[in-house]
Amino acid sequence: MAGAKDKSKLGYRILLGVVVLVLGGSMLLYLVPQSPVSGEISTETVAQIGDESVSVQDVRQQLNQIEQRNQNMKPLEALYAQQILRQLVFEKEIEYEAKRLGITVSDQERADRIRQYVPTAFNGGTFVGMDRYSAEVQARFQLTVPVFEELIRQGLLEEKFRKLVTDGVSVGPAELQEEFRYKNEKVKLDYALIKPEDLESKISPDEAEIRAAYEKNRSKYQVPERRVARYALVDVNQLRQNIQVSDDVLKLQYQANIQQYQVPNRVHLEHILFMTGGKTDAEVEEIRKKAEDVLKQARKGGKFEDLAKKYSEDAAKDKGGDIGWIGQGQALPEYEKAAFSLPVGSISDLVRTQIGIYIIKVLEKETAHTKPFEEVKESLRMPLLLSQADKLASDTSDQLSAAIRQSNKISLDDLAKQHHLVVGETRLISATDPLLELANSQDAKNAIFLLRIGELNPPVRTDRGYVVLSVKSIQPAHQGSLEETRDRVIADLKREKSAEMAKSKAEELARRVKAGEKFEAAARALGLEPKTSDPIAHDGSIPGAASGKQVAVAFHLKTGDVPAPLSLGQSWLVYRVAEKTESNPADFDKQKKQLTEELLQSKRSLAFEAFRTSLDTRLKQEGKLKLMPEKLKSFGTLG
């Protein structure tokens, strides 16, 4: 059985796959996900499912692994923490329900699935031994055997529930015909998108209008409390410019971390992926034929990047199949064997893996080597400069804090003079204005609005360095005069009038076209830009304008019809049906198989989600599920 630490990893690979796809598909499918780092399990429970629990630490552990691969997700941490909690809870719910219903995964079922994932663990029908098996699992998945086998069991258990829930799902003839019509019925529209912001520059309110708008909304134009602060800055950038780091020091740093500069054998690749996971043998054969055809195109001079954009089925397609550099041990064995055996510039045969069929092109190769000191020394210099400047700034900050504690009467100017600091002054700012002089530091702004005039605050760390602040003057909140708030009044007035103008132009355009004017001429006469869409289906869109769903009424109109202007928030869309293409019954049989699969998948997903919601509700009613999501507050806030 897996130990306590290994159990903390259960569900990791399944969860990682789900959440990374939510984050935008940034993990390429040919790479094997890394295992999380085990740690102490927190006793702070955020969910209780029967006798099992999920802790804040469980959520944090999963989130840390995802953040390592997606550096830009920090602002949405709270959202992803809730998604992770939901997934972890569902895994526990499945286990609870399986025990209640007596649903289990047999050793044979698990062994059969392991054989699919790690076929090299068996030589014919004979097990190759635990040492080799463990090495294979570690090399392919970076997991211990207990964790790997538990993940297999969990996956099989969920599959059983999916089968139970979705086996009865079917698609009827009427549904297929409706989906066929929905996918194939198309309209082509003449249209004009009227945006208020495009009209604002044409609006020039006169003084009487501005004054009237101010008087009408006087109470709206309050001026908040505003302050001017003086500051003494320990400027880290200035300190850095005065520090010198010798090559001898850099060499010591280089030698101490020599392993960081060891580059393994690696290759720079492009690839085209044809997914085969979950496909039948007949479907896989069709996919193989398609891949063969694409391979022939590539070898006959077809541009590989264009072929990848057209045919590849992973996130790299948008980059023309370019997946960057990979080192040995980072890809599936079949993929890696082909990639490292090819010469630069060549294209592989079809490479079959458990994920799909690949066509690989080698762009560059690098043999394992250690980067020389001269190549990396400048990259060593900056971290050392930063470190020394930060230490010097921190030491100065400590001295400033001590001086302020010793005497609350010391002036900012005296303090700056003693420590050779830059003195500056902010503009008149409110609590919501940017503090541009100090890199918009929220901590510095908070300090400014807590201080009394003449007081000094202890140093605050900003992106520019450490800063000591003193409030010079305070302007109390008050009713703003027209001159103080003129810019706001004019901006509000322009927004209001441009919104009215947009609506008026939309109504006028629709009226003119209905009266018989040509769409293009009528639009240009009103200063608008007429456009014509490509034919779009119900599930299509007009880029930058509207979706097929938003113009759904167009599918029920005749060619030449002009409906009422469509409100899109503050903007308006006026369109005329230029062409209509009805679905062609002759194409139904060609599309029937794919439509059936898509509808079945959609209905099965909905059915399983309904089961999940129902299970949640029942367990809550029975008192078997208790959630304490407020304990996720350490993960930020949802906006």
3-state helix, strand, coil in the chain (%, to 5): 55, 20, 30
**Domain range summary for the chain, segments of one domain joined by +:** 4-168+618-635, 186-196+487-581, 225-242+378-476, 265-367
In this structure, which amino acid lies at residue 3?
G
Q: Which of 26-40, 251-265, 522-536 has the highest mean pLDDT?
A: 522-536
Report helix, strand or coil for 23: coil
pLDDT digits (tens, 9 = 90+) for 25-51: 322 333 333 333 333 334 588 899 999
Q: Is the pLDDT of residue 239 over 70?
A: yes
Instruction: Write the DSSP string, 558-590.
Output: PTT---SPEEETTEEEEEEEEEEE---GGGHHH
Q: Which residues make beta-bridge pairs with 461? A: 466
Instruction: Please state which architecture CATH assigns to domain 225-242+378-476.
Output: Roll (3.10)
pLDDT at residue 548, rounded to an integer: 93
- Closest by CA to 465, choosing from 241, 235, 240, is 235
Task: Name which of 6-10, 335-339, 455-459 the model is least confident about.
Answer: 6-10
Q: What is the mean pLDDT of the chain?
A: 87
Q: Is the pLDDT of residue 415 over 50?
A: yes
Q: Is the pLDDT of residue 529 over 50?
A: yes
Tell me which DSSP letter residue 25 carries: S
- What average pLDDT does range 272-297 have in this prediction? 90
pLDDT at residue 71, rounded to an integer: 60
- Closest by CA to 232, choosing from 479, 486, 412, 441, is 412
pLDDT at residue 358, rounded to an integer: 95
pLDDT at residue 81, rounded to an integer: 86
pLDDT at residue 82, rounded to an integer: 87
The sign one gets for the Cα dihedral 45, 50, 52, 58 is negative
Q: 11: pLDDT confidence band, cut at 50, 70 and 90?
A: very low
pLDDT at residue 16, rounded to an integer: 32
- For 7, 68, 494, the CA distances from 41, given in Å and listed in that order, are 10, 20, 57
Instruction: Please state which architecture CATH assigns to domain 4-168+618-635.
Output: Orthogonal Bundle (1.10)
**493 dihedral zone (left: phi>0; alpha: psi -120 to 50; beta):** alpha
186-196+487-581 fold:
Chitinase A; domain 3 (3.10.50)
pLDDT at residue 135, rounded to an integer: 85
State how far the Cα of 550 lies from the Cα of 533, in Å rounded to an integer: 14
Q: Is the pLDDT of residue 10 over 70?
A: no
Q: What percent of the chain has pLDDT over 70?
A: 91
265-367 fold:
Chitinase A; domain 3 (3.10.50)
Q: What percent of the chain has pLDDT over 90?
A: 63
Output 30 or 158, whichever has higher pLDDT.
158
Q: Are 421 and 234 in contact (CB under 8 A)?
A: yes
**208 dihedral zone (left: phi>0; alpha: psi -120 to 50; beta):** alpha
Output 24 or 203, whichever has higher pLDDT.
203
Q: 609: pLDDT confidence band, cut at 50, 70 and 90?
A: very high
Tell me if domain 225-242+378-476 and domain 265-367 are identical in fold.
Answer: yes
pLDDT digits (tens, 9 = 90+) for 78-131: 788 888 899 999 999 999 999 999 999 999 999 889 888 888 887 777 888 888
pLDDT at residue 74, rounded to an integer: 67
What lies within 8 Å, CB to CB, of 430 at 6+ separation is 223, 224, 225, 226
Tell me which DSSP letter residue 458 carries: P
Q: 371: pLDDT confidence band, cut at 50, 70 and 90?
A: confident
- What average pLDDT does range 568-593 have in this prediction? 94
pLDDT at residue 382, rounded to an integer: 85
Q: Is 556 exposed, middle or buried (0-12, 13-18, 19+ CB in 10 A)?
A: exposed
